Structure 1
Amino acid sequence: MTVITTLRQKLCELFSADRAPSGYRPGVTLARLRRDLGLTTLDVNGLVFELVERTESQLLMHVVMTEFVLHVPTSTEGAGSFDVHHGGAVRRNGIRVRRRSGSQAMACELQARLLADNGLFEALMPLDFKRLRIDLKDRQWCVRLEHMGGSEVVNRMPAFRRYIAVSPEQRNQLLAALAGIKRALSTL
């Protein structure tokens, strides 16, 4: 039994989620993203945000993804978590808000605010994002936007690395979307 227990422990250590993937270079993808964005500071016209890097491991590869994190203080009480995504199966035909937790009324109000701001709507529609989550907790909105660009795919077999850049058009849409989300949430 000792051999099986030891083997199980070694397998758990090998596939542990707490361990950084083999070949992961912390901060390298963030540096490339900052270069793509042309930013020396994360304060653009009064819009202050953070860039966060996270990894997702698979069998012989991993993906390094970056998230844009924006905090917006509010007087709104309560808590909730909402996912924002494009509507339409084949073509984008709108913006949808899905409630993960919190009140459905807040989800409806959030969707109405996102759609009412024309500048925000025009920025979100062509924006290629994988995930956009908006959370409310302790009178603060936390926006986490994971763009399709600004990420790196690292494969071990066959060995390759591929960084997916953010185009200048996507950069402009991204910054406009973050500014629009801040505008919409600050009055909610």
Structure 2
Amino acid sequence: MIRHLRERLLAPRAPTGYRPGATLGLLSRNLGQVQMHLLEPARAVLDNPAQGWRAEVRECVEAHLLMHVVTCEFHLCLPALQGGEVRLELRHAGAIRRTGLACVYRSGDKARFIQARDLLLSNAQLTAALMPLDFKRLALECRDGHWWLTLEHMGGSEVVNRMPAFRRYIQISPPQRAHLMACLGLFGESLPRL
């Protein structure tokens, strides 16, 4: 009984006021013509048959004192051309203004990282789509013969405060939506070649 009580009290819980799927519903309307299908309350699939990619979208909840933030992460899983494990991140370079893209090594095979970095940063279309894209995190991982991409956009998120009580959805603007869809499509083309 004590064990059950301890597990119940220490288990991670969703913050008060969190509504699973509410942010995904707002994001679905915000993305316009792209087809989104709900799999679970906090997980959906985006289909873009014209560009030939399919991405999973998940709500991620981050609790703070008297508030929480719900963000949406876009995930792509694509086959890798060759084996080897590597983890890397892409981010904007420049302290005040964006001056380019930086590829940061996290772990794994260094030769594989150099190969991936060179291919991604030399892709002019991908760079042109990523430069204006407002993303918080863009992580790439190669493992088990697949590339796993995680992209967290600054838009498509919801801020919920308990005191004073308010709830605000931060939408993805039409230009940002176009850049996001272009990035997902270009990663869908580029990653299987690595």
TM-score, normalized by length of structure 1? 0.89
Distance 1:186-1:63 versus aligned 2 partners, 3 A rule: same
* SS at structure 2 position matched to 1:173: helix
Taking only aligned residues, the RMSD between alpha carbons, in angstroms, comes to 1.8
* Distance (Å, rounded) in 1 between the aligned partners of 2:173 and 2:14: 28
Correspondence list, 1:1-188, <5 A: 13=9, 18-38=12-32, 39-41=34-36, 42-44=46-48, 45=50, 46-188=52-194
* SS at structure 1 position matched to 2:125: helix
Give the residue type in structure 1 aligned to 2:140. I
Shift of 1:17: 6.8
Shift of 1:118: 1.3
Give the residue type in structure 2 aligned to 1:33. L
**Greater gyration radius:** 1
Give the residue type in structure 1 aligned to 2:82. T
Distance 1:17-1:65 versus aligned 2 partners, 3 A rule: farther
On the 8 A contact 1:97/1:110 being kept in 2, the answer is no
* SS at structure 1 position matched to 2:169: strand
On the 8 A contact 1:117/1:180 being kept in 2, the answer is no
* SS at structure 1 position matched to 2:35: coil
* Distance (Å, rounded) in 2 between the aligned partners of 1:70 and 1:50: 7
* SS at structure 1 position matched to 2:187: helix
Give the residue type in structure 1 aligned to 2:47. D
* Distance (Å, rounded) in 2 between the aligned partners of 1:96 and 1:24: 35
* Superposed CA offset, 1:18-76 (max 9, x none): 21110000001011111111122422121111111110001111000101111111132
Give the residue type in structure 1 aligned to 2:153. H
In structure 1, stretches of 5+ residues that fail to align are 1-8
Deviating beyond 3 angstroms after TM superposition, the runs of 4 or more aligned structure 1 residues are none
Give the residue type in structure 2 aligned to 1:24. Y
Identity among equivalent positions (%) equals 49
Give the residue type in structure 1 aligned to 2:35. T
* Distance (Å, rounded) in 1 between the aligned partners of 2:64 and 2:128: 35
Q: Which has the higher strand share?
A: 2
* Superposed CA offset, 1:68-90 (max 9, x none): 11111113212121111011111
In structure 2, stretches of 5+ residues that fail to align are 1-5, 37-45
Give the aligned length.
178
TM-score, normalized by length of structure 2? 0.86
